[in-house]
Structure 1
Amino acid sequence: MRKPADMFDRDYEWSVLTRFVQDEQPGATLGVVSGRRRQGKTFLLEGICQAAGGFYFGATEAADAESLRRIGAALTEYVRPASPFHFHGWAEVIDALLGLGRERPIPVVIDEFPYLAKANPELPSIIQEALRPLRAQRTSSRTRLLLCGSALSFMGRILSGNAPLRGRAGMDLLVRPLDYSLAAKFWEITDPKLALRVHAIVGGTPAYRREFARGDVPAGPADFDDWVIRTVLNPETPLFREPRYLLAEEPELRDPALYLSVLGAVADGNATRGGIANYLERKSPDIAHPITVLGDVRLLSRDVDVFRENRPTYRITEPLILFYHAIMRPVWDQLERPGSAGRVWQASRRRFAANVLGPHFEQICREWALHYAEPDLFDGLPATVGHGVVHDSGTRTNHEVDVAVIGVSDRGKPPLLAIGEAKWNDVMGAGHIERLRRIKEILARQGKFDVGRTKLLCFSGAGFNEKAREAAHSGEVVLIDLPMLYAPATR
């Protein structure tokens, strides 16, 4: 099936849906599509239905009886039967949807399924019964039923544990934000430094360019500050209040103030559970639940220290949320006053560089090492790319490693393929390389990793001096600048 001409990328998602929808095997099948709002799930599913002549129904927050009337009216318009559909329960609805696939494989989409399940908690069990293996209505149908939802906490449970639909689905697709390289293409930004600064604020959510910023893209590096002022910090634009709405739209976040405070603690540099608890003046067990829920809705990531597995740290995964907590939330009252954005941004630029750009650059470097580095850069396939702290017992000092690339273990010590340092604003030189060499020596003495083929990676947003470039000729040191990080975007 031909992908819509105005759909950017999403080639992988389109191919997964196409294979599922066009599967000729007999018997109705179930697929699940999830992802945060604004990622283009509805656009994908409507496109699939248009290409394959399928049926699409978008649920809304409504009482059960109203939803039954709405889907009956939608199905009547689609099928155009002699008499309109009047459903008395969801079992009748599901059987009618299965009936659509008697002649051929056909996609049937129920979008925002969590709204329906909230009004009628028995709905997943009803679908389970309708898709019972030997049931005649299922075996005689080739309906490809797609349940879609943006409530990630709910959608994450729909196929897990003892959930009624566990084992019933033949496809489970998560629609993620565009990664940093694809986001640069989507925003049509060719300057890598500008692309990273924009991505550090709006991330890879497609709707933020098309709908929320109304296509407003920075005209160049010199326009970046004005772009921030007229879009993200402008109370008249949807982007201004979007970070608050992202939390409000998650049904599992019943105490928004607590979750906002947890995110605020992480944005302020409190990356450990103990640090978050101290910031909130609570005991560590008291924040276990909000941390878990924020992880379930993919707003918070638990990153394991690759050198000390019992020392995890937490990271905000949505750039706009981090930007809001680091820049906007502390001065919200000022920002709500028209005309204040310029003054606020001027005073916040240093904080933006330290609390937003720096950590974001480090994460981009880790993503590059895992997904985009040339195959021959490392002497082996990366299995894990993370960060951590190396403790030197001799000097009783700790050394932070921004990028650590660990390979696949083959009956021995796991190979440490590379360690790296990432500096957004610093021109890197021999001192940075010597520091990495010392860390490599410490790791060799500790004996946990095989460091025989460890390379030293220097990532910089400001460039490298001559001594660093000379060291790179040895092959032990690899220098990665912004154009190299964004090379995938130019392919």
Structure 2
Amino acid sequence: MFVDRERELAFLERKWKKSGAQLIVIYGRRRVGKTMLLKEFLKDKRGVYFLATADSVDENVKELAGKLSELTGREYFRDVNDFGKLLRYLADETRGKRVLIVLDEFQYLMKLNPGILSVLQKVWDEHLIDTGVFLVLCGSSIGMMERTLEYKSPLYGRRTGQWKVEPFDIRGIVRMLPDRDMEELVKVYAIFGGVPFYLDIVKNLSAEEAVREKVLRKGEVLYEEPEFLLREELREPRVYKLILKGISLGYETLGELVSFTGLDRGNISRYLDVLERLDLIAYELPYGRRKRGRYYIRDNFFNFWFRFVYPNLADLELGLVGEVWKKIERELNAYYGKMFERLVREMLRLRILDLGQRKVARWWHKGEEIDAVAELEDGLLFVEVKWSELKKREAERVLEDLKAKAESFNAENKRFLLVAKRIEGKGEEMMDLNDLERLVR
């Protein structure tokens, strides 16, 4: 089912309507829905969709030649065995016509033929630039696809647009799972994030059933998913797995990670930079400060997998799913709590929960934490998030504690908000899942 992606489709349609040749780069992590997006865009257009494989250059050229033969009605394409010639002949056959060519998983062609970007540059400059060709290069290897955008890339200055496809936010999750209540949607978000492929797996299962059936069972599609993705993207997956395990267990500063991994400071910084570039982790600073930041696993499923699955792989290899699930269950509520905080911050940043805020960040200092501090036009908003059911008096005490923590902040106007799973006798400055559900729907 194709849902959401209005902004991405609007971008592609806007480029489609522009005159002249277009060279567009679409990239993003595997499973995020790039192929569905491009097939949706292709629906009412003259063009071809080509999925590259890791087989060989000859096999890929042969397959593409067949598709271009069908598109143009010219049989001679099938006899061409050179990528550059295929595109040159395409330019001759479609010179004045708008035609869409999607080359998906383009990173495979880059691996098989390291000079393919130079070939493409030459054909683009000499033949395609004066045509109506709309060429899309799409890939799942973020590192490799970003190389096509770099200053040193042969395509630098030729591309006419690029878009990084991101996982859904909570609104996209709601559209894919419209029959779930907000509590279940928070659990889905906490475990699987907004990756469409994972959400499709959850369609007929609750979040926790999906963990037991599709994540913890050897041989199932998500059992080794993070390891598979790391092996495909990185040369030393073992080291990266160790770092990700450390962050998931709460070793969040550079010093803590050095102690946990045994790697020296210079080396671990390089590994962390790579993981940041791949959007697997992020570095956050406490509100109002420029140092003493913390790393966190940005991808929700990676976060869950390294926290609960990776440390238990030996037992899961033996099929001890029930035993491992019992261990996970004991810590799951605390995990939901942390991820609920993340969701509320995300809703504030995206202005799904809109109080006119600008910058939004966590804050911590000397053992005290505030889940979100948001800059308003006339002051600051302080937010406390609780994954629990509170009576009115309990909720008021939480707000009193929050106000005490905010005393050290110098702001003309201070506002406060408590967000909890449920609040009995909800008063001002309070929201619960019912309120959030109305916003996301």
What is the TM-score normalised by the length of structure 1? 0.83
2:166 aligned partner, one-letter code: R
The equivalent residue for 1:421 is 384
Asked if structure 2 preserves the Cα contact closer than 8 Å seen for 1:55 and 1:109, the reply is yes
The separation in 2 between residues aligned to 1:119 and 1:231, in whole angstroms, is: 33
The equivalent residue for 2:322 is 342
SS in 1 for 2:227: helix
Matched, 1:309 2:290: yes
SS in 1 for 2:372: strand
Distance 1:216 1:336, change over 3 A: farther
Per-residue CA deviation, residues 417-465 of structure 1 (Å, 9 max, x unaligned), is 3121212136352332222222332111xxxxxx22331121212x335
Asked if structure 1 preserves the Cα contact closer than 8 Å seen for 2:173 and 2:199, the reply is no
Matched, 1:366 2:345: yes
The equivalent residue for 1:207 is 197
Asked if structure 2 preserves the Cα contact closer than 8 Å seen for 1:58 and 1:112, the reply is yes
The equivalent residue for 2:360 is 385
SS in 2 for 1:404: strand
Given candidates 398, 415, 430, the residue that maps to 2:396 is 430
Asked if structure 2 preserves the Cα contact closer than 8 Å seen for 1:209 and 1:216, the reply is no
The equivalent residue for 1:448 is none
1:206 aligned partner, one-letter code: P
2:395 aligned partner, one-letter code: G
The separation in 1 between residues aligned to 2:143 and 2:322, in whole angstroms, is: 37
SS in 2 for 1:455: strand
1:401 aligned partner, one-letter code: I
SS in 1 for 2:360: strand
Greater helix share, structure number? 2
Q: Which has the higher contact order (CA 8 A, sep 6+)?
A: 2
Higher mean displacement: 89-98 or 416-425: 89-98
Pairing of 1:314-325 with structure 2 (within 5 A): 314-325=295-306
Asked if structure 2 preserves the Cα contact closer than 8 Å seen for 1:48 and 1:54, the reply is no
SS in 2 for 1:306: coil
Matched, 1:13 2:21: no
Asked if structure 2 preserves the Cα contact closer than 8 Å seen for 1:184 and 1:489, the reply is yes
Asked if structure 2 preserves the Cα contact closer than 8 Å seen for 1:267 and 1:322, the reply is yes
The separation in 1 between residues aligned to 2:78 and 2:143, in whole angstroms, is: 33
Unaligned runs of 5+ in 1: 1-5, 219-223, 391-396, 409-414, 445-450, 473-477
1:307 aligned partner, one-letter code: G
The separation in 1 between residues aligned to 2:193 and 2:325, in whole angstroms, is: 19
How much has 1:82 moved relative to structure 2? 4.1
Per-residue CA deviation, residues 143-176 of structure 1 (Å, 9 max, x unaligned), is 1110000001112232123222222222211111
1:435 aligned partner, one-letter code: D
How much has 1:283 moved relative to structure 2? 2.1
The separation in 2 between residues aligned to 1:62 and 1:482, in whole angstroms, is: 49
2:229 aligned partner, one-letter code: L
Asked if structure 1 preserves the Cα contact closer than 8 Å seen for 2:26 and 2:136, the reply is yes
Pairing of 1:219-258 with structure 2 (within 5 A): 225-250=208-233, 253-258=234-239
Matched, 1:156 2:146: yes
1:442 aligned partner, one-letter code: S
Matched, 1:482 2:433: yes
The separation in 1 between residues aligned to 2:282 and 2:384, in whole angstroms, is: 21
Asked if structure 1 preserves the Cα contact closer than 8 Å seen for 2:364 and 2:370, the reply is yes
The equivalent residue for 1:290 is 271
Matched, 1:464 2:423: yes
The separation in 2 between residues aligned to 1:50 and 1:287, in whole angstroms, is: 46
How much has 1:77 moved relative to structure 2? 3.0
Per-residue CA deviation, residues 11-42 of structure 1 (Å, 9 max, x unaligned), is 2212222222233x1x3121010111112211
Asked if structure 2 preserves the Cα contact closer than 8 Å seen for 1:156 and 1:296, the reply is no
Pairs aligned (count): 438
SS in 1 for 2:135: strand
The equivalent residue for 2:99 is 106
Asked if structure 2 preserves the Cα contact closer than 8 Å seen for 1:424 and 1:460, the reply is yes
Per-residue CA deviation, residues 309-352 of structure 1 (Å, 9 max, x unaligned), is 212211112222111111111111222333x3223212221222
Pairing of 1:11-410 with structure 2 (within 5 A): 11-23=6-18, 25=19, 27-99=20-92, 101-132=94-125, 135=126, 137-210=127-200, 212=201, 215-218=203-206, 225-250=208-233, 253-338=234-319, 340-354=320-334, 356-373=335-352, 375=354, 377-378=355-356, 382-390=357-365, 397-407=366-376
Distance 1:437 1:164, change over 3 A: same
How much has 1:129 moved relative to structure 2? 2.8
Higher mean displacement: 422-431 or 286-295: 422-431
SS in 1 for 2:373: strand
SS in 2 for 1:368: helix
How much has 1:274 moved relative to structure 2? 1.5
How much has 1:227 moved relative to structure 2? 4.3
2:318 aligned partner, one-letter code: R
SS in 1 for 2:173: helix
The separation in 2 between residues aligned to 1:88 and 1:142, in whole angstroms, is: 24
The separation in 1 between residues aligned to 2:74 and 2:231, in whole angstroms, is: 41
The separation in 1 between residues aligned to 2:141 and 2:218, in whole angstroms, is: 26
Asked if structure 2 preserves the Cα contact closer than 8 Å seen for 1:33 and 1:172, the reply is yes
How much has 1:232 moved relative to structure 2? 2.4
The separation in 2 between residues aligned to 1:437 and 1:482, in whole angstroms, is: 22
Asked if structure 1 preserves the Cα contact closer than 8 Å seen for 2:99 and 2:133, the reply is yes
The separation in 1 between residues aligned to 2:389 and 2:147, in whole angstroms, is: 44
The separation in 2 between residues aligned to 1:100 and 1:290, in whole angstroms, is: 47
How much has 1:99 moved relative to structure 2? 3.8
1:216 aligned partner, one-letter code: N
Matched, 1:443 2:409: yes
The separation in 2 between residues aligned to 1:357 and 1:174, in whole angstroms, is: 28
SS in 2 for 1:389: strand
How much has 1:88 moved relative to structure 2? 4.8
Unaligned runs of 5+ in 2: none
2:388 aligned partner, one-letter code: N
1:72 aligned partner, one-letter code: A
Distance 1:139 1:235, change over 3 A: closer
